[in-house]
Structure 1
Amino acid sequence: METERTPRIVGVIWGLLVLNTLGSAGAVTIVPLPRSLIQMVTMGSLVAAFTLALVINARLRVRPNAYVFLLTLLLVTSVISSAHLESGFGALFRCFRLTLFVGTLWLLSRWWDGSLTFVRHHIRMYFAVLGSVALGLAISPGAALPDLYGGRLVGALWPLTPPQIGQYAAVIIGLTALLLLGRRIDRTSAAVVIVPSLVLLALTHTRTATLGLLLGLVLAIGSLLMTSSAARRFFTWSVAIATVAAVGFAGALQAWFLRGQSKDNFSSLTGRAKVWDALLAAPRTTGEKWFGVGLGDKSFGGLPIDNSWLAVYNEQGLIGVGLVAAFIVVLGGVALLRPPSLQRACAIFLISYCAIASYTEAGLGDASPYLLHLALAVSLLAAPAEAPAPGTPAVPRPRVPRWAQRTEVR
């Protein structure tokens, strides 16, 4: 079956989306960067991504998919809730940003064909981000491991928080491990990605990312056990190593997991539970219950919400929560119905990771890395384009600029 060329510029567009979702708030960098400059860079990358996607897909050919359709409905809900300006004019700006983000995903959906192309783009871009973190650590260890964050690793060149770094490291570790398991990458290349990413993940002391990585890999590899002997061997060795580590290093693992916190602080999820209780107890009008107060900075009373479901409830109401639950359930259902494959395993890992992280991290209701991870899962679950039936007149392909073409055909 002949397949359409994937323009080389698609990888650049994906990288621009990654840059946009890095955010503008975080640690103090070695060279102070004005927040306005960072926002200009991140927003400019999104505008560039949408423009380039529009150039190479000028005929607006898209692949219908439930995920981006539900994101579009979530965008409509966000506009309705933000129009009241309870969250200020910033809410309308965030709606504009979400519009460009969703629009870019629609334009890129034309090339979602179930291949591993976007997985490789994903790993390369986030590995480059982690490279900047490692470089900052080498240049100024004090700035990269500040006391303000309890000695946890932060971005010293670009303002990244420990949870962000932990998330990026966990995702590319999981995807690279699955590519290695599926023999789509050699051991040396996999070690180059996995080993330094594991070190950075350990330095962040991020429990959510670590649990998401471990549980996501268990589910992903479990989906391959019936069809892959390599998956069975990998699973057996992993269980053995985990058992030895749990017995021999129980004290060290417990100390790393607690991060020096008291049991009371740990049981309240580092104070998150207090914010959640206050948010749920706050009085709301009927409109606020169903549509929320508009897109904001994912905080309540000046404190971060750190829960995707409550953040969506606060900003997009019960309708928003329903839409987010719908696309998580739809993606999970589609993944379970697909026959066992490496692509399905990668998708299961991404979906399960985002679902686990949603409990202590916000991001499922706005342009974020989590929505990008789920978009990657959609690209993996998409069925390849069918070849035309014999005797069907050939449909001319839209012309792609020469500068945007790849030299090889999948």
Structure 2
Amino acid sequence: MDGNVKHGVLPVGPETARTQPGAEPRPAGTPKAVGIVWALLGLNTLGSAGAKTIVTLPRSLIQMVTMGALVAAFSLALALNLRLRIRAGAFLFLLTLLLVPSMISSANLEVGYGALFRCARLALFVGTLWLLSRWWDGSLTFVRHHIRMYFVVLMTAAAGLVISPGAALPETYGGRLVGALWPLTPPQIGQYAAVIIGLTVLLVLGRRTTGGSAAMVIVPSLVLLALTHTRTATVGMLIGLVLAIGSLVLTSAAARRFFAWAVLVSTVAVVGFASALQAWFLRGQSKEYFTSLTGRAKVWDALLAAPRSTAEQVFGMGLGDKSFGGLPIDNSWLAVYNEQGLIGVTLVAAILVILAGVALLRPPSLPRACAIFLISYVAISSYTEAGLGDASPYLLHLALAASLLATPAAATPLATPGHLRTATPVTAPAARQRRIPRWARR
């Protein structure tokens, strides 16, 4: 090797392969610290409002922890990607454009400085995703990070249930499970449980994990989901799994068997436990209250009937706490319309449509199935949950779907320049031959 270099000749091989100018080299592997960045992003989206905890945590302390997690996530991602190698895509581009109506509407200081603070938070969140995009290669690496992260969150809720059942199942929430150690609401716990159940089921079907490991995640998550009585999460999980497994039916025998068994079990459950399922679904509410979506429709009607100027219709009122008249909006589309206007609604719709379109055009595979599950779950949940226009778990789910739909960055070798070519490759036996003395050559 040294002799070749001395004479201006380099061996040609994988270790010296070059890429074309402008081609992004494929990373050798995803650093473990990337999982820490993903977990910090998840911690930031947990929020600071929720049920009363066993040990009272000041809201200012929780906000300091969540915002500190976001700053730490951005700093660590920047340290891992100092050369700022990114992978541009429609998802991140549209998400960055969403900052425009957010900042224009939030610049009106009549809505308070909190709107500008939320804009800065959203910008830092999007910037961290840009830095992580270098490692988005269509693999299941981020799926495993996602499952581990939310499973840890669910275990805090389970620990609170064991330590203080009364605090974890308060009457103020109708006996539904809440976070007794960290202020988590029933819809939050239900969302996290539904997402990791669906992803873990798909990993089992794709034979990317063992049945025992999957059961350790699925069984306790199912119990927690049942205790939250969260209808949106349950319906979103079931429909998402149907669509995701349906995308694998033609190419996976395991998916076909699972689909057949699921249909059989569902039929038996509906026939044999119809009354119990109806009672769980209604949560003790009257049918009239249920048809009004637990009072959400009144808030939606009032929001749409409120007078707005043309600028407020186009750009919104500024980023807020996703409430109207002191009541939660609980609808992503109306929340985006209220805070980011018609431009925000258009951008969010474009994000979902493009991700769904790319997923449909991809050939059948396990990453594609996971992406379909996440996109369909978020689309269904957006009707009764807010969060698509701000840093939230729903945007993190869509970011995971975008990473699964990304194609691996392949390095394209260049032709080796003439002065670096070897006319005849030196073989190992020839390299070990004894050098002929000068006198013998005479």
| Structure 2 match to 1:27 | 51
Is residue 6 of structure 1 aligned with residue 30 of structure 2? Answer: yes
Deviation per CA, 1:301-353, whole angstroms, max 9, x where unpaired? 00000000000000000000000000000000000000000000000000000
Q: Which amino acid aligns with 2:388?
A: L
The 5 A counterparts of 1:19-98 are: 19-98=43-122
Sort the Cα spacing of 1:239 and 1:279 in 2 relative to 1 into closer, same or farther, 3 A.
same
| Structure 2 match to 1:237 | 261
In 2: Cα distance, 1:4 partner to 1:84 partner = 46
Preserved contact between residue 92 and residue 126 of structure 2 (Cα < 8 Å): yes
In 2: Cα distance, 1:367 partner to 1:217 partner = 25
| Structure 2 match to 1:380 | 404
Q: Radius of gyration: which is bigger?
A: 2
| Structure 2 residue corresponding to 1:219, chosen from 201, 225, 243 | 243
Shift of 1:3: 4.7
The SS at the match of 1:324 is helix
In 2: Cα distance, 1:378 partner to 1:257 partner = 32
| Structure 1 match to 2:181 | 157
In 2: Cα distance, 1:390 partner to 1:241 partner = 56
| Structure 1 match to 2:380 | 356
The SS at the match of 1:178 is helix
Long gaps (5+) in structure 2 = 1-13, 15-25, 418-442
Question: Between Structure 1 and Structure 2, how many residues are aligned?
Answer: 393
Preserved contact between residue 86 and residue 294 of structure 1 (Cα < 8 Å): no
Is residue 131 of structure 1 aligned with residue 155 of structure 2? Answer: yes
TM-score where L is the length of structure 1: 0.95
The SS at the match of 1:132 is helix
Is residue 190 of structure 1 aligned with residue 221 of structure 2? Answer: no
Shift of 1:391: 2.6
In 1: Cα distance, 2:95 partner to 2:412 partner = 30
Preserved contact between residue 77 and residue 132 of structure 2 (Cα < 8 Å): yes
Deviation per CA, 1:20-48, whole angstroms, max 9, x where unpaired? 00000000000000000000000000000
Q: Which amino acid aligns with 1:265?
A: Y
In 1: Cα distance, 2:240 partner to 2:84 partner = 35
In 1: Cα distance, 2:30 partner to 2:272 partner = 49
Preserved contact between residue 219 and residue 348 of structure 1 (Cα < 8 Å): yes
Q: Which amino acid aligns with 1:226?
A: L
Deviation per CA, 1:183-217, whole angstroms, max 9, x where unpaired? 00000000000000000000000000000000000
| Structure 2 residue corresponding to 1:314, chosen from 314, 320, 338 | 338
Once the two structures are aligned, what percentage of the paired residues are identical?
A: 79
Shift of 1:392: 6.4
Deviation per CA, 1:95-147, whole angstroms, max 9, x where unpaired? 00001000000000000000000000000000000000000000000000000
Preserved contact between residue 350 and residue 374 of structure 1 (Cα < 8 Å): yes
Long gaps (5+) in structure 1 = 394-410
Shift of 1:388: 1.8
Deviation per CA, 1:275-319, whole angstroms, max 9, x where unpaired? 000000000000000000000000000000000000000000000
In 1: Cα distance, 2:195 partner to 2:87 partner = 26
Sort the Cα spacing of 1:392 and 1:187 in 2 relative to 1 into closer, same or farther, 3 A.
farther
Shift of 1:7: 1.4
In 2: Cα distance, 1:3 partner to 1:296 partner = 39
| Structure 2 match to 1:173 | 197
Q: Which amino acid aligns with 1:93?
A: F
| Structure 2 residue corresponding to 1:290, chosen from 314, 323, 344 | 314
Moved over 3 A (4+): none
Preserved contact between residue 194 and residue 234 of structure 2 (Cα < 8 Å): yes
Q: Which amino acid aligns with 1:52?
A: L
Q: Which amino acid aligns with 1:67?
A: F
Q: Which amino acid aligns with 1:175?
A: L
The SS at the match of 1:153 is coil
Q: Which amino acid aligns with 1:111?
A: W
Preserved contact between residue 27 and residue 135 of structure 2 (Cα < 8 Å): no
TM-score where L is the length of structure 2: 0.88
